[in-house]
Structure 1
Amino acid sequence: MNPLSRARALFCWLILFCLGAVWIARQEYVDQHERFFQSTSVAQRMLSQKTVQHEAVLATLAALSHPPSPERLYPSLQPAMPQLLGLGHLPGGVWAGSLPQPPGLQAAVERARELGRPVTMPVDDARYWLVAPSGWSLLLDARQLVPAADFPPGLAHLTLTVNGTPLVLLDKQAGDTAPGLTLALQKPLGAASQPFPIRSTRKLTPDTWPWTAWLGWAVASALLVAGAAAWQRSRAEARRQQEQVRLSAMARLSTVGEMAAGIAHELNQPLTAILAHTRAAERLLDDDEERPAVRHALLASAQQAKRAADIISRMRALVQPSSPARREALDPDALVASLRFLREPELARQGIRLTWANASPGARPLGDRVALEQILHNLVQNAADALSGTKGPRLIALEGRVADGQYQFSVSDTGPGIAADAMPRLFAPFYTTRDQGMGLGLALCDTLAGSMDGRIDARNLTPAGACFTLSLPRAGGAA
């Protein structure tokens, strides 16, 4: 897996932050809704207690055998019940009260007796008469049921509907036009005689949003993504170093193989000559007296020369790269992706840009993956060496395409190109144009390509640069 780029890291952080922010917002909303529900329930119970208290007062007055007159009773009740505006009694159809008799009182008393409980006679949006079956009546002001300061602090807007029109009991968000989500809850009061609906609303404006939690999560998620990116980079670097060590070991082994092959080629001829001359001398011996000793010496020399040739042959067979045991259809994009993963950081430090273009998507070369990787790495390294002393743009372009029934990899650079006198001997072992070179890299590539029934060609580009083309058999079908 490639390490996260800045754009990908930013995208991952954005996704992670959004998911966390949504979760935090949901938890905050649930918490706000729970507090709002509890505060509204508390306000509903407070108002219900007041209305139940009205029923209790009427029941107490009805139970008195000799109740005091309403004019005398009202001053004593009013301090404890600020919402009480008047008190009256209708015994035997004659009204007695602190206020004049309200219209429709007799009908209200009869209705209360039919229902067996007190009934209400609204006066306006806030005031209403509560009439009991006993004839006792209370004039009440809903605005005075509970002082606004006594409501729970979690409430913002509270209304009570007495006579069809909502009566505002509390309004802490008056004139607030900020955008937000509105919470709403409606409940009736608990008294059977006064089941006025109470409605509570609250807008969750931006000042109530969890900005601190969001900011904390933004920092935490950024640290998480940064840590993950650093961990991926460290793993990628470790993997890159392992791959470079593996390729270096393979390159050293292949170099030893090429060197052994060259040494064997150079030494086999003199050793063969020694063997031939020794045997000739053996046949030409004429001195009968010295013949046994000379023969023994010559036989020993021949045996040692043959033994040296056998040792060199076994060494060559041991270390010389052999044909791959198995060939398979390879994915060029995956091969180059591995190459770029290993080489791009080093090339970038040298100011060299490495590009890849697949002109024949879906086509697959047939060969050995390890050998093909080694060839591409050597060609890219040679191109990088050629660009080390150049000025201007430094570019190594890799391209894959199908041509002449084969799959071709081309590695081109913007360097000075190949000298005309070097071109014929380019793939000869131990030939090099570099001071520190051994002349085995391209020879090794040519050997590996031949083991896969392929070939490598080199040419100069116009106006400058060189291009190496590796041609391999093409797999029978697209992979």
Structure 2
Amino acid sequence: MTPAWRRSLLSHRTLHLPSLLLWVVVACAGASWLTVARLQQLQAAFETDARIVHRLLSQRVVQHDAIMATLALLQPAAAAGDNSTSPLPRLTSVYPQILAVLQRTAQRDWPDALQAELATAEATSRRTGHAAMAGLNLAAGRYYLVLAGVPASYALYIDLRTTTPADEWPMDITTSPVRVTLERGGDAFVVQPGRGDLGSGIRTYDFHKLLAAPSQPLDVVARRSVGPPELPWWGMLGWCLLTAALWAAGRALWRQRVARQRAEELLRLGQVARLNTLGELAAGMAHELNQPLTALLSSTQAAQRLLADDPPDLDTAQTAMARAVEQARRASTVVGRLRRLVERPDLAGQAQPLALPAAVHDALHLLEPELTQRGVVPNIAIATDLPTALAEPVALQQIVHNLLMNALQALEQVPPAERQLHITMVRADAGHVTLSVRDHGPGIPPEARQHLFEPFYTTRTGGLGLGLTLCESLAQAMGAQLTLAPEAPVPTQAQRGAEFVLTLPTAPPTNDR
């Protein structure tokens, strides 16, 4: 036996699981797409702001080089020491980022505290031909910019805190999540603090680029972390709700379609059952009427013979008897014609190879609402070497349907926790297969077992007593046999109920060449 068939039936009852998984996949895919789109949008905005920051800061530091070049052009006046016309005192008021301007001439040297650093930077500037940095203190945001010249050299004391152009800055310095720093040699000056949880978010973006001034090689570093609150949660929720609504609508349409197909199949099966039941009823009536009609015919013929010995004045009675005989024969002819009309055709000639598990599967599908209503999960066992059966499709379907329905009606009489339905399909012998349907209901009384297949005999209130008779007739008509399995001598609690066994011939093997 294999449990695969049972798993397939259970999966049929939970057919919505694949569609539910599909909804989960679609919802996750849509949410992922919205997340990726949002991250790409944030990255594009970050890179744009970082490039603007680099351009603005580069413009400011390049401005320092321009100031130094201007001082070099004005050296004759500045070197003369005419403070009234010298631009040096006025630079700090025009450019707030310049805290002081220092000058070294042949008569004046650099301040003693800065002598070594500024002299080294002056030598570097004289060698490279452009200004050089000295006394860099990025923690405080200050440094000297030295330009060597003749007859005087100059040094600007620059404050980076006032370098940031607030009116052109692309971000709100106090609330923006982007951290902007100027870095060199492991030290950093914080231009914009950003958030303190950099690197701990879902995604981190980085930007590194040197300022566009060879004299002030500071690295502009921008960093931004994207946290969970910045993801498009409302958009993802809306997408999930939309796909859930579409899934629910599709599920409802699918259930409606399955219910309609099941109703159509039950209607067709009911029509066939009613026709077959009508045939059984008519055949039973014909059988029951033939006996009184035959007795009437015999009695009338006897009376006619007796009356023939009476005086001739009984001619009228003789004529009446003759008419009665004629009418009785006519009634018998009508009944015989009716019986021939409703006689079941030979189903054996219409038999074809069928997969017995498929027929059971179709019947269980039609009875799925009944199974669910009663809380019954069928326990199905199939032999691994089960051959193909030979049967008429509609007749087999009607037999299986009736047997299962009888079992479900019997299970209604026991508590829900004790309701069990066992379906077994095995090979009986070399030429037959059997289908066993056993319920765990109250069973069949011993006095009813021998009358169970008789027409109009029933143990159920309101029953016609033709269901099992019809199933037996259908089975015999297609060369099969339907029997009631014998009851155990002393049935236990686990052996109670009734078991019906349908034995079918196997289909002959096909010769594939």
Task: State whether TM-score is above 0.5.
Answer: yes
User: Which is worse superposed, 180-189 or 234-243?
Assistant: 234-243
Establish whether residue 428 from structure 1 lines up as the match of residue 468 from structure 2.
no
Q: What residue is the counterpart of 1:186 in the other structure?
A: 208
2: CA distance, partners of 1:189 / 1:331: 83
2: CA distance, partners of 1:443 / 1:132: 121
Contact 2:427 2:433 in 1 (8 A): yes
Contact 2:197 2:225 in 1 (8 A): no
Q: What residue is the counterpart of 2:474 in the other structure?
A: 448
Contact 1:157 1:171 in 2 (8 A): yes
Q: What residue is the counterpart of 2:135 in the other structure?
A: 123
1: CA distance, partners of 2:88 / 2:348: 117
2: CA distance, partners of 1:133 / 1:454: 120
* Structure 1 residue 252, shift from structure 2 partner: 0.9
2:498 maps to which of 456, 466, 469: 466
Q: What residue is the counterpart of 1:338 in the other structure?
A: 362
2:269 maps to which of 221, 239, 247: 247
Establish whether residue 322 from structure 1 lines up as the match of residue 336 from structure 2.
no
2: CA distance, partners of 1:59 / 1:331: 101
2: CA distance, partners of 1:128 / 1:368: 105
Q: What residue is the counterpart of 1:172 in the other structure?
A: 194
User: Which is worse superposed, 219-228 or 449-458?
Assistant: 219-228
Q: What residue is the counterpart of 1:396 in the other structure?
A: 421
Give the letter aligned to residue 146 of structure 1.
Answer: T
Unmatched segments (≥5 aa) in structure 1: none
User: How many positions carry a matched residue from both structures?
Assistant: 465
CA displacement, residues 383-410 of structure 1 (integer Å, 9 cap, x when unaligned): 2333344457233322222333432221
Q: What residue is the counterpart of 1:381 in the other structure?
A: 405
Give the letter aligned to residue 395 of structure 2.
Answer: A
1: CA distance, partners of 2:470 / 2:36: 65
Establish whether residue 365 from structure 1 lines up as the match of residue 383 from structure 2.
no
1:109 maps to which of 125, 149, 157: 125
SS of the counterpart of 2:338?
helix
Q: What residue is the counterpart of 1:145 in the other structure?
A: 163
User: Which is worse superposed, 118-127 or 434-443?
Assistant: 118-127
User: Which is worse superposed, 272-281 or 451-460?
Assistant: 272-281
SS of the counterpart of 2:136?
coil
1: CA distance, partners of 2:13 / 2:217: 67
Establish whether residue 78 from structure 1 lines up as the match of residue 78 from structure 2.
no
Contact 1:329 1:367 in 2 (8 A): yes
2: CA distance, partners of 1:453 / 1:298: 43
2: CA distance, partners of 1:80 / 1:342: 93
* Structure 1 residue 439, shift from structure 2 partner: 2.0
Give me the TM-score of the superposition, normalised by structure 1: 0.80
Matches within 5 A, 1:81-92: 81-88=95-102
Give the letter aligned to residue 404 of structure 1.
Answer: D
CA displacement, residues 154-173 of structure 1 (integer Å, 9 cap, x when unaligned): 45222223456343322222
Contact 2:177 2:225 in 1 (8 A): no
SS of the counterpart of 1:358?
strand
Contact 1:187 1:199 in 2 (8 A): yes
1:414 maps to which of 440, 450, 466: 440
Give me the TM-score of the superposition, normalised by structure 2: 0.75
Compared CA separation, residues 417 and 387, structure 1 to 2 (3 A): same
CA RMSD of aligned residues (A): 4.2
* Structure 1 residue 37, shift from structure 2 partner: 1.1
User: Which is worse superposed, 271-280 or 103-112?
Assistant: 271-280
* Structure 1 residue 33, shift from structure 2 partner: 0.9
Contact 2:347 2:478 in 1 (8 A): no
* Structure 1 residue 316, shift from structure 2 partner: 1.7
* Structure 1 residue 204, shift from structure 2 partner: 1.6
The percentage of aligned residue pairs carrying the same residue is 32
Compared CA separation, residues 76 and 371, structure 1 to 2 (3 A): farther
SS of the counterpart of 1:366?
strand
User: Which is worse superposed, 253-262 or 9-18?
Assistant: 9-18
Q: What residue is the counterpart of 2:5 in the other structure?
A: none
1: CA distance, partners of 2:205 / 2:134: 29
Give the letter aligned to residue 402 of structure 1.
Answer: R
Compared CA separation, residues 299 and 267, structure 1 to 2 (3 A): closer
User: Which is worse superposed, 49-58 or 465-474?
Assistant: 49-58
Contact 2:290 2:332 in 1 (8 A): no
Contact 1:275 1:305 in 2 (8 A): no
User: Which is worse superposed, 374-383 or 141-150?
Assistant: 141-150
Contact 1:9 1:226 in 2 (8 A): no
Contact 1:130 1:140 in 2 (8 A): no
Compared CA separation, residues 125 and 373, structure 1 to 2 (3 A): farther
1: CA distance, partners of 2:254 / 2:437: 30
Give the letter aligned to residue 126 of structure 2.
Answer: E
Contact 1:43 1:151 in 2 (8 A): yes
CA displacement, residues 171-206 of structure 1 (integer Å, 9 cap, x when unaligned): 222366855322112123233544532121112223
2: CA distance, partners of 1:307 / 1:431: 28
Contact 1:129 1:139 in 2 (8 A): yes
Unmatched segments (≥5 aa) in structure 2: 1-10
